[in-house]
């Protein structure tokens, strides 16, 4: 793989604008090479090439300078006949500022191209150094904060384990075998930095006597400053219903109760903060290394194109700069590892590093084989069902209407789910292809996120089960030998549903348990929307549910058909029951109501009026769905309800279209660099965005079929037409998903947001912080 592609693949995507623009510098080198080829006759070029090769060959006969000399001396550099550039740092107010490169051969032919190259190179290098220095300073501040949190945690441990011990009773601590050495909040006062502030002295009880332990404790042991707890409170994050209710009568920060539950919660939060901080440090180290490698590669390319020797001088400057010489990140990495292993892994180095450095999910060939096998079997079953229907002339049989009214809605539920999963697999494939960091956006733990192969495996497996149920249902019904097993035949869809639900809620670590539990947790947050803090996975799942209204109605039909219908003779009176009619409207409104309540919660927390407008959009959709469903179920359709259904649906559709394209996708920006799109695009083909906008508009108008009663295909049953319209809405949602997450990713890129904020457990009041 060429370095340019490898460089782009290994970038932190949210920081891509802060990396060296390798492709831009490479394009300038191509211009230099093109100019040299155009302005030199072939003979001259051949002579220059021979001279260059002879010059390189002549270096084989120079005196050997030794293995230990890393760089040439300054005098030899200055007097060297091949000196091309002089790199220096411009001082601003006594502080080292930007780096500038003076090109010494500007008078030569084509020198202006090379001057442009070095000017761009300096701009890129200064940009990289400034960004790196800024991020390192942020990590140092964060390290100080984590040190404070660790001091409070260790003091809380002492209080919980020894509730009667004071901050100066060191003898009792030594007697209890508890040894911990922690610096004060400001580690610099004791000549320590950041993560080095927390140390432990471990002693073996079988080698040191009790008196020796006391003496060692008096001499070397310095306990954590327990008095800091007098100035510390617990941060209460309003994330659960219980915490919300407590916040009504209490403030968001409460006094410590010194309970084990409080200690356990604090340890979990600080452990998560250390994991995220360590990840940030590793990405910073990768950022530093990749950029140094990129500057080395581009300078070697320059030497090759220009037949000069400028890379050594420039790379010397890079090595001596802050980018190449700073070691703060390395020291912090080592400090975090030591601290985490001691305090959160019980001294187990392998366990601690395994948590800090989770392994990426490995691509397994058996997954590809299985989803290919399941897909092939599903296609074969589809062909078999079509042949079965045609051979037995089922479409014109007397039981056709009964089957479509009673059985088809049961199996269509699995069709909706499989189609949605296929769209998700496509989304993941293209997110990966265009480097949209979907795992970070959704907050998946590294190594647990599903790839498109895993999603295809699940969808093909579910489709295989459902299609096997359909064909067995048809065969058992038509075969004279099994025709008497009518009850068993009609229970096949229910058995399939029970199997799917059992797998979904299975507590054992099989079939991607972490992903299943993540989905269940998000679904529970959606159900309890007003009582939970709204995160992106929660409202993203709620948006998916708004496109699965027909699937939710199918679940309602399952309950009615097997609970109150006479499934043994394949008949039901669901649509004649008033309760069913009311619930038919309610279950369609529930997903939009969840989004409406989520918008209100975000409006209350973030005070952003856009969430209020978004809530109004969903409220208009609730009204539209209600009026449309009432009109659809009227025995005698009146003009009044037709006008109401059309008007409310039209208003909701226009509002949703505007929000989809302008707010969620960030498109239709007339003054952007890409007219009527946006400044930054992930997909290189601009036509894709216009096609997506047109498709979104057309598929949004699918409600017209329900209002106007359009029957496009004469032989298509009404139930099948409803399923087809629902399938179009799922396809529209799949298209929406890609561009919604693309816009979210670009917002993260614009703000260099590559890490999620982890709430810390302890809060230092200002007075207490000053006194420590």
pLDDT given at position 466? 95
The contacts found for 38-44 with CB under 8 angstroms, 24 or more apart, are 39/109, 39/110
Long-range contacts of 708-712 (CB under 8 A, 24+ apart): none
Mean pLDDT of the chain: 81
- For residues 447 and 456, is the Cβ–Cβ distance under 8 A? no
The Cα 638–Cα 738 span in angstroms is: 40
**Residue 196 covered by a domain:** no
Percent share of the chain, pLDDT over 90: 45
CB 273 within 8 A of CB 143: no
Higher pLDDT: 681 or 164? It is 681
Query: Left, alpha or beta for 74 (phi > 0: left; psi -120 to 50: alpha)?
Result: alpha
Examine the domain organization and report whether 429 and 528 are in the same domain: yes
For residues 521 and 647, membership in a common domain is answered with yes
pLDDT digits (tens, 9 = 90+) for 438-458: 999 998 887 888 999 999 999
What angle, rounded to 10 degrees, do the helices at 365-391 and 452-478 form?
A: 30
Question: How many residues are recorded in the chain?
Answer: 772
The candidate with the shortest Cα–Cα distance to 283, out of 445, 436, 129, 139, is 139
The verdict on 529 and 413 lying in the same domain is: yes
Pairing of strands 232-235, 762-764: antiparallel
Is the pLDDT score of 63 beyond 70?
no
**423-428-432 Cα angle (round to 5):** 150
Domain identity same for 235 and 334: yes
C-alpha torsion sign, points 202, 208, 214, 217: negative
The position carrying tokens 């011990």 is 165
Tell whether 668 and 744 lie within a shared domain.
yes
Give the pLDDT score at 122.
92
| Domains: count for the chain | 2
For 570, which DSSP code?
T
Q: What's the average model confidence in pLDDT over 495-512?
A: 94
679 belongs to a structural domain: yes
> Can you give the pTM of this predicted structure?
0.82
Average pLDDT over residues 661-675: 92
What's 240's DSSP letter?
S
For residues 156 and 303, membership in a common domain is answered with yes
Q: Taking 70 as the threshold, does the pLDDT of residue 741 lie above it? A: yes
Would 175 be classed as within a structural domain? no
- Residue 668 and residue 594 share a domain: yes
* Res. 683: pLDDT tops 90: yes
HSE value, Cβ hemisphere, 13 Å, CA-based, for 690: 7
**pLDDT at residue number 232:** 80
User: According to the model, what pLDDT value does residue 246 have?
Assistant: 59
The answer to whether residues 594 and 539 belong to one domain is: yes
Which of residues 59 and 466 earns the better pLDDT score?
466
The predicted pLDDT at position 531 comes to 85
Is residue 430 in a domain? yes
**Section 399-421 average pLDDT:** 90
Q: pLDDT tens digit string along 282-340? A: 999 999 999 999 999 999 999 888 888 888 889 999 999 999 999 999 999 999 999 99
Predicted confidence at residue 310, as pLDDT, reads 87
Asked if the model's pLDDT at residue 539 lies above 80, the reply is yes
Range of 679's domain? 398-450+512-751
The 10s digit of each residue's pLDDT in 195-252 is 443 343 333 334 334 444 444 444 454 555 677 777 787 775 555 666 666 555 555 4
Residues 656 and 712 in one domain: yes
For residue 88, list its beta bridge partners: 100
Host H or E run for residue 85: strand 85-92
Question: For residues 384 and 387, what is the distance between their CA atoms, to the nearest angstrom?
Answer: 5
The mean-pLDDT minimum among 18-22, 207-211, 655-659 falls in: 207-211
Q: Is residue 49 part of a domain?
A: no
Q: Clarify whether residues 579 and 712 are in a common domain.
A: yes
pLDDT at 760 over 90: no
304 with 414, same domain: the answer is no
Whether residue 672 contacts residue 679, with contact meaning beta carbons closer than 8 Å, is answered with: yes
pLDDT at residue number 20: 93
């Amino acid at each position: 793989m060429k370095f340019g592609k490898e460089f782009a693949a290994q970038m932190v995507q949210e920081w891509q604008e802060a990396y060296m623009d390798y492709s831009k510098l490479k394009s300038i080198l191509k211009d230099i090479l093109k100019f040299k080829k155009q302005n030199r006759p072939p003979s001259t070029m051949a002579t220059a090439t021979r001279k260059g090769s002879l010059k390189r060959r002549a270096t084989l006969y120079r005196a050997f300078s030794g293995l230990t000399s890393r760089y040439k001396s300054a005098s030899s550099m200055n007097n060297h006949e091949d000196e091309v550039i002089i790199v220096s740092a411009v001082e601003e107010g006594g502080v080292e500022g930007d780096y500038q490169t003076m090109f010494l051969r500007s008078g030569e032919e084509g020198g202006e191209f090379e001057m442009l190259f070095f000017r761009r190179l300096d701009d890129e290098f200064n940009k990289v150094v400034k960004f790196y220095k800024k991020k390192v300073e942020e990590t140092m501040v964060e390290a100080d904060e984590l040190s404070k949190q660790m001091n409070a945690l260790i003091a809380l441990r002492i209080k919980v384990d020894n509730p009667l011990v004071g901050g100066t009773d060191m003898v009792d601590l030594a007697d209890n075998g508890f040894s911990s050495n922690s610096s004060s909040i400001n580690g610099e006062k004791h000549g320590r930095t950041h993560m080095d502030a927390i140390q432990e002295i471990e002693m073996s009880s079988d080698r040191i006597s009790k008196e020796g332990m006391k003496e060692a404790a008096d001499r070397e042991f310095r306990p954590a400053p327990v008095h800091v707890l007098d100035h510390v409170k617990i941060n209460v994050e309003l994330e659960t219903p219980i915490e919300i209710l407590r916040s009504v009568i209490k403030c968001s920060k409460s006094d410590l109760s010194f309970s084990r539950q409080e200690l356990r919660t604090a340890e979990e939060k600080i452990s998560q903060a250390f994991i995220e901080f360590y990840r940030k440090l590793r990405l910073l180290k990768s950022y530093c290394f990749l950029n140094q490698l990129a500057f080395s590669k581009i300078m070697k390319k320059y030497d090759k194109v220009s037949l000069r020797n400028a890379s050594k001088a420039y790379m010397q400057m890079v090595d001596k700069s802050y980018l190449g010489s700073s070691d703060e990140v390395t020291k912090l990495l080592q400090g975090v590892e030591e601290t985490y292993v001691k305090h959160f892994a019980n001294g187990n180095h392998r366990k601690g590093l395994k948590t800090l450095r989770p392994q990426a999910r490995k691509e397994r060939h058996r997954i590809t084989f299985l989803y290919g096998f399941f897909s092939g079997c599903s296609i074969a079953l589809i062909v078999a069902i079509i042949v079965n229907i045609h051979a037995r002339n089922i479409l014109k049989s007397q039981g056709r209407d009964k089957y479509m009214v009673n059985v088809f809605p049961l199996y269509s539920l699995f069709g909706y789910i499989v189609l949605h999963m296929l769209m998700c697999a496509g989304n993941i494939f293209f997110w990966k292809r265009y480097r949209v960091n979907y795992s970070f956006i959704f907050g998946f733990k590294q190594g647990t996120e599903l790839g498109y192969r895993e999603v295809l495996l699940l969808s093909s497996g579910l489709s295989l089960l459902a299609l096997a149920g359909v064909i067995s249902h048809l065969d058992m019904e038509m075969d004279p030998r099994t025709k008497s097993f009518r009850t068993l035949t009609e229970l096949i869809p229910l058995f399939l549903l029970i199997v799917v639900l059992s797998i979904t809620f299975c507590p054992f670590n099989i079939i991607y348990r972490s992903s299943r539990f993540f989905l269940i947790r998000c679904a529970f947050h959606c159900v309890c929307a007003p009582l939970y803090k709204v995160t992106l996975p929660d409202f993203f799942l709620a948006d998916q549910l708004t496109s699965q209204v027909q699937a939710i109605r199918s679940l309602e039909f399952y309950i009615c058909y097997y609970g109150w219908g006479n499934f043994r003779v394949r008949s039901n009176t669901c649509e004649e029951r008033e309760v069913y009619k009311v619930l038919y409207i309610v279950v369609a409104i529930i997903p939009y109501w969840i989004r409406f309540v989520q918008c209100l919660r975000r409006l209350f927390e973030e005070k952003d009026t856009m969430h209020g407008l978004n809530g109004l959009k969903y409220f208009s959709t609730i009204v539209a769905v209600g009026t449309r469903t009432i009109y659809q179920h009227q025995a005698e359709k009146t003009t009044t309800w037709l006008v109401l259904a059309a008007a409310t649906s039209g208003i909701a559709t226009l509002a949703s279209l505007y929000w989809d394209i302008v707010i969620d996708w960030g498109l239709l920006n007339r003054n952007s660099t890409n007219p009527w799109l946006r400044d930054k695009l992930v997909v290189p083909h601009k036509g894709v965005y216009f096609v997506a906008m047109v498709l979104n508009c057309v598929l949004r108008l699918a409600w017209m079929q329900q209002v106007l009663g359009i029957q496009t295909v004469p032989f298509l049953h009404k139930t099948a037409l409803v399923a087809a319209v629902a399938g179009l809405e799922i396809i529209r949602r799949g298209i929406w998903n890609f561009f919604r997450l693309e816009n979210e990713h670009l917002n993260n890129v614009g703000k260099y947001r590559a890490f999620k904020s982890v709430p810390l457990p302890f809060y230092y009041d200002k007075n207490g912080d000053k006194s420590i």
